[in-house]
Structure 1
């Protein structure tokens, strides 16, 4: 069975690559995946799968015609906050796959935010005609329920991603703290400067090795390098392409300070204390679900002493998830795998 996997793949985003790696890990053995990718050669080399240029519509159409099923592979694909074009692309492909008679699955979706009526209508239509749907948060499940569309609700599948060891990580002095920042309009120059000053004092107080981990190098590397250049103690900018290695980083750190959703999921899954800086409702939802300390970007204190003391409190007294909590999340994340097995067993 040939199955087309569609997501924000091959674009250098660690979270989306982690979703792809997990989806490939969860597919039944008799399925041959074909990945729509922004960098098909890299996708072929990294995952040893067939890949097709996601923007070559002739190739995409040909691939769909030669396949049996189509999967939206995880994440916030249907939202119109960052782009009005993006939902048209994903929704259009889903509807095309449905018209061509393929089995269609919306897998591990986080729906929204949806601000435009056209996007809402597109989402209702494309989800409504799916063979099966799974979502990763309560808000998405509630929206589908409102639309009368049945779905499976389970934690983000990346909870169940197998991690890999990171060469050289254990040679860096312990204790280690990982920091994952991304560019965002709400992370203003002033807020970033205050946070950096707080991190400098935090490092002096804790004598930690700070690991700056850009999840999407095109957006995050500049910030990581800017922060690194000001740190007085031992630090390293860790640029990793392999999502399993990205998750493996958090095995070797005491605490993670993260903006990116999947940095926090990976860290929590590896038993790390987490402190969240939320730029998006999906991060805020995770903070509530896991009872994570942190701030929305707009609420970061202006006094860097307050930021530093809050981080120190989390470092000294914060709790990681228990092994039972982690196992429960991993087990429930495997419901996304059960859904794939049910659909592809017929």
Structure 2
């Protein structure tokens, strides 16, 4: 709120899948907070974030911000009532693939803010899939009444257009994590890593449980074993969502036992903790990355690490497409020989890959600040009226 000649200050509630120890979603939150901080400083104003979280105490400790419980209506109500606006995003919030409750929850938070006459801002969301048509009006209504709408890919914009949101109101921007910086301690950490006696090329591996029969994981094991049968490589498993991805990684490593060939390949599990920037640092140390998690691929692009994507959801293909890439396989089909050929090509010609994709990556990084910039401008305009 503004008083006299004091610096303009805005309390902004941020809604998303936060406080669940998912590195990708936590990276989204960290990126949004940093972008809002940077753009508010440039505009000469102050943003005070209030994050809706599944674990408010952890979120407050991790990011140094106010936080309230996302599932306690009175806390959400009070946070919104005392705010100057709501940021919803980023991530894949408006989809019904994981649960029929997801879209009603996130649109409900947005609608509550709008009932309280607070401006709402949709921040680089991935929309869909939406398989239940009765959810279309929920999305359409809150989008039409939002002060700003941005999505992270053209496919999301197309979906909103089909639902009935005017395309002229939708801005297509990158995922916020494209702008996430390395932690301040990165220089020292990288120096330590560089002096390691082990010189094996590092292939980062980010897998998640998807198929109930685990056939997708079996194909991934075969693919990694084929690569190890050809050359020595360090397979460094990166759990993006703990504890689930840790269990998946341990399962795959167990199945790889005895199949790592005679070249001296090894498999290991990284333990970067819950800080998304530490995971970004882990990815930056890889020579290439084999990723199933969307944000594993986004982290790799952020650090110009050559990547192979395994598609389980259209959002994987959509992101790869923005870099001019295609998935090496899907959860339904992954050819071990094709994978090994592709991985060897990346490990042997990383600089060529970087040259080919650097321009696209740089564009995404530059554009990642656009939502924060627009939101700060709109807040200032709203207050000055």
Counterpart for residue 182 of structure 1: 208
- Residues 182-331 of structure 1: pairs in structure 2 closer than 5 A: 182-185=208-211, 188-229=213-254, 230-231=256-257, 232=260, 233-240=265-272, 241-293=274-326, 294-301=328-335, 304-317=336-349, 319-320=353-354, 322-331=357-366
What SS does the corresponding residue of 1:158 show, helix, strand or coil?
helix
Measure the CA separation in 2 of the matches of 1:110 and 1:172: 42
Q: Which residues of structure 1 form unaligned runs of 5+?
A: none
Structure 1 runs of 4+ with >6 Å offset:
none
* Distance apart, 1:34 and its partner CA: 0.3
- Residues 56-67 of structure 1: pairs in structure 2 closer than 5 A: 56-67=72-83
Counterpart for residue 159 of structure 1: 178
Judge conservation of contact 1:172–1:209 (CA < 8 Å) in 2.
no
Measure the CA separation in 2 of the matches of 1:306 and 1:96: 50
Q: 1:41–1:25: structure 2 CA closer, same or farther, 3 Å change rule?
A: same
Judge conservation of contact 2:322–2:360 (CA < 8 Å) in 1.
no
Alpha carbon RMSD of aligned pairs, Å? 2.0
What SS does the corresponding residue of 2:109 show, helix, strand or coil?
helix
Measure the CA separation in 2 of the matches of 1:333 and 1:279: 25
- String of CA shifts for 1:266-310, please: whole Å, max 9, x gaps: 102211110000111100111222132411221223xx4454344
Q: 1:5–1:193: structure 2 CA closer, same or farther, 3 Å change rule?
A: same
- String of CA shifts for 1:234-253, please: whole Å, max 9, x gaps: 33211321111111222211
Q: Which residues of structure 2 form unaligned runs of 5+?
A: 1-9
Judge conservation of contact 1:173–1:209 (CA < 8 Å) in 2.
no
Q: 1:92–1:172: structure 2 CA closer, same or farther, 3 Å change rule?
A: farther
Determine which of 14, 17, 20 is the counterpart of 2:29: 20
Measure the CA separation in 1 of the matches of 2:134 and 2:104: 9
Judge conservation of contact 1:134–1:152 (CA < 8 Å) in 2.
yes
- Residues 93-172 of structure 1: pairs in structure 2 closer than 5 A: 93-146=109-162, 147=164, 148=166, 150-164=169-183, 165=186, 167=189, 169-170=193-194, 171=196
* Distance apart, 1:322 and its partner CA: 4.1
* Distance apart, 1:154 and its partner CA: 1.1
Measure the CA separation in 1 of the matches of 2:371 and 2:379: 13
Judge conservation of contact 2:13–2:85 (CA < 8 Å) in 1.
yes
Q: Which has the larger radius of gyration?
A: 2
How many residue pairs are counted as aligned between the two chains?
343
